Amino acid sequence: MIVIDAAFVPRLAKKARLKLDRHANKYMIIYPERGLELNDAAAEIAKKCDGSRSVGAIADELAREHEGAPRDAVEHDVIAFVSMLRDKGLLELR
Amino acid sequence: MTAAPTTTTRPYTLIAELTYRCPLRCPYCSNPIDYLAHKNELSTEDWCRVFGEAEELGVVQLHLTGGEPLARKDLEVLVARAREVGLYVNLVTSGIPLSRERLEGLARAGVDHVQVSIQSSRAALADEVAGYAGHAKKLDVMRWVKELDLPLTMNVVLHRANLDEIDELVALAEEVGADRLELANTQYLNWALSNRDVLLPTREQIERAAEKAAPHRDRLRGKMDVLFVKPDYFGTTPKACMDGWARRFLQIVPDGRVVPCHAATSITSLVFDDVRARSLKEIWETSPALLAYRGEEWMQEPCRSCDKRAIDFGGCRCQAFALTGDAAATDPACRLSPNRAAIDAAHAGADAGMGVRRYLYRGPAARATR
């Protein structure tokens, strides 16, 4: 199983569609037979999982966007969320 | 932007049974026994309107199924319409009849995920169970799906004759590159109920299969989702059927009736509303058949005072009706059901049928062979 660290570059799997659910006004990841409702913090991370930047870079951006958020705590959250995506098979691993 | 639905419950998934037509004759088919009496299929326009209405109601997942959805010549149009309104389109198919060109067209139209049914890892048994020589073709179809870079689920309905094949089925799913493997034990309703004595496995078979599936699930985590759920006939609690009656799922049968699940038309005491007569929203919110077992008001004892009633919703209404004649009864799969003897009787019937493989195939003049 792939280890998710600061250098890992996450990209949502092709089968996963990130979508704003207009009924609940929340982001969801929809994938075969399932849907994952995201809270606002998770949605912000998911939007950045597009294969263009590493976990560390995502944490840098989020820490910048949220003044006062400790950078290390943010990275910890990003790793936890991306690891959950990995466990659910929602990351492109090629 | 329209307002969110005012009802407390919202459907997330629409299961669209586009047709009952199918070249396969599987003896556990989930279509109704009297499927031939319902040939009046919804038109392309009806389905297109309904997909929009479903999205308005809150649906995000669409399953295009049947019968065999490929039997609809307008499938590409329906897929494109569903994508246009933002639904995640799952195509649930036998893969027959399908050419690579048509699959490419469906991919272009926007299919998000393809689910192909496989009857066995062994061609001879697969073709025998399906009542149709289609196994080799299905293998081709699964490979095409992956060549076109579409997510693939390999779906296997498990029963006595193929339950010992877990390792082989996982190997096949890995070989074709499936993203998901659904090892789905037979639900004994409709055609499967008619064939229960020859399909129902032994408890030892179930335990062995569950033990074999578990390490594959762990080994493949993150790469391929392996689903194996022990069937309710072998447990002490009922399944949370459809996550509750008309709660998260909405289904429309080929002739336009709106039902909560694939077997609900077997409950002969219910009359289902037709999407050609009323809007889907009106039906979802007010159809007497959908309200009948939504929530908890309908429950009898032991469900009514049970602390698990919000977890399993009393089990399966169709199974309660099939085994007790009362759709509001506690599912006999529950150890607390006063009708639990119906499950014991099923096991006794199956024990008597051991060594026999004489299926009542789905079909017009249903006939047993072998």
Tens digit of pLDDT for each residue in B32-79? 999 999 989 999 999 999 999 999 999 999 999 999 999 999 999 999
Question: Cβ of A32 and B12 within 8 Å?
Answer: no
pLDDT of B2: 40
Question: Cβ of A15 and B179 within 8 Å?
Answer: yes
Average pLDDT of every residue of chain B: 94
Q: What is the mean pLDDT of residues B200-220?
A: 96
pLDDT of B40: 95
Does B225 contact A at CB distance below 8 Å? yes
Q: How confident is the model at residue B1 (pLDDT cuts 50, 70, 90)?
A: very low
Q: pLDDT exceeding 70 applies to what percent of chain A?
A: 99
CA of A27: which chain B residue's CA is closest? B60
More confident residue, B308 or B368: B308
Inter-chain Cβ pairs, chain A and chain B, closer than 8 A? 57
Q: Contacts of residue B90 in chain A, CB cutoff 8 Å?
A: 32-33
Q: How confident is the model at residue B4 (pLDDT cuts 50, 70, 90)?
A: very low
Average pLDDT of every residue of chain A: 94
pLDDT of A94: 63
Check pLDDT > 70 for residue A59.
yes
Q: What is the mean pLDDT of residues A20-30?
A: 96
Smallest Cβ–Cβ distance between B60 and the set A28, A32, A88 belongs to A28
Question: Cβ of A19 and B60 within 8 Å?
Answer: yes
Does B223 contact A at CB distance below 8 Å? yes
Q: Which of residues 254-313 of B touch A (CB under 8 A)?
A: none
Q: What is the mean pLDDT of residues A51-66?
A: 96
Check pLDDT > 80 for residue B8.
no
Q: What is the mean pLDDT of residues B153-166?
A: 98
**B300 Cβ partners below 8 Å, 6+ apart?**
B328, B329, B330
Q: Contacts of residue A93 in chain B, CB cutoff 8 Å?
A: 222-223
